[in-house]
Structure 1
Amino acid sequence: GAKTMIDEGLFTKFSIDEVYAMHNIPGMEVGTFATRKGTITSSENLFEISFEGKGGHAALPHMTKDAIMIGSQIISALQTIVSRKLDPVEKGVVSVTEFITDGKKNILPGNGLIKGDARALSDKSNQIIEKNMRQLVKGICDAYGVSHEVSYKTTCPVTLNESEQAESATKAAMTLLGEENSDGDCEPRLFSEDFSIMSAVKPGCFVLMGNGTTGSHASPLHASNYDFNDELLVIGSSYWTELVEQQLK
């Protein structure tokens, strides 16, 4: 939604000096706050790998170029990118989320499609992930004599918090929640946010609020049993009021 809002005139129709956004975090105590200067969330990079082999009868594998075998090797190889190609002090994720073929229970597939999601906390790391993904896929497909295509698209850049806005956001949290509940130098997270598109236009800060540490309030984001903690409605709205009053003084 951020890009659409910008395209429709968010920053031209309104006088905006700073931008802020908030996200709840399962596993953090309710009433706690976290943010940081610099990179706070990763980029999101969606990839698709398609390859065309040769299908055939399950009893005649030697006459095929089996997409299951080829795809399985690609998926396994992709997991070596972060562990062996990325500097250990950097963080990254390569997750395969779909593997689709045209086989049947007695037919070996010839065509395969692998889809997934890669995350990185810097442009450099993202380039390393993409470069090695393309190299690995090419090497495996060449070894089996099959054609392939790789699509790698960044849908959200990293979210960068400006120092001044991060300090202001933390100050408001300390006033509202107390210094002991306000972390102004948290670890970056490997989820992504299209708020990054807004903060690339105007200086801003992305903040995190605890959703709870037990039950469904602590379940991972997007999990089927995740539940938003309604206690945050009061905390979150109070935080925005505190921040606005502070910044307008």
Structure 2
Amino acid sequence: MTVRQLSLPELAETCGALSIGNVGLWREPVQAYGVEATAKLVRAAGLTVTTLCRGGFFTAIDPAARAKALADNRRAVDEAATLGTDTLVLVSGGLPAGSRDLRGARERIADALGELGPYAESRGVRLAIEPLHPMYAADRCVVSTLAQALDLAERFPAHQVGVTVDTYHIWWDDTAPEQIARAGSGGRIHAFQLADWVTPLPEGVLNGRGQIGDGALDLREWKGYVEAAGYTGPIEVELFNDGLWARDGREVLAETAERFIAHVIP
């Protein structure tokens, strides 16, 4: 998503030129290019798919809508398995129209995980609940903290359900380091993503993630938290940023790699 202006073949080519061996993919461009075709492309390029984003949106009350969401999530699991990644990132869903029942929405997420977890396990895929910043609770994700995500995940086996640690969404929470340790002790850190926090936020908020080094976060410190918790997996950079998307994608990817080395690697 950081360089969504690149086609998948362009992305694979640029990763090769920059010696980047891992890539996190989103479903929309994968579906547009073709799931099988994408799997073949990344394999030929020597790329490992770290995660597929996104499944989720489990909070609907209407039974037909819930059944539709579960069917879509099974397809997402199948897509992840075809791409060779063991992790599907979940954005759980916001409040249904007219509802103010946060607790009920979170319980419907748990119900969906109970159905989807065993299916994902059968396909060799883990589910990774991503808490989003509280400003998204109404329309996008009623899971706002790592503690809330872990309270859901811990109802299920760790090899089925864990969490995504995304610095953009949790940096403000002074309990987050403790919750990262909690997640690590249970083997539930299934994905780790970086983005910086810059102000002022753009209108609409969604596409305001900052390039590494441009904002308020000590990303090396956050890397230390997950490593201390035992995480040894890949680190993704995920930037929704209109300014970056307006630039040449190859240039943005090279810049992102340089920033990662300068601001994240010890």
Q: Which TM-score bucket, shorter chain as reference? A: under 0.3
* Greater Rg over alpha carbons, structure: 1
TM-score, length-scaled by structure 2: 0.26
Q: Which has the higher strand share?
A: 1
TM-score normalized by the length of structure 1: 0.27
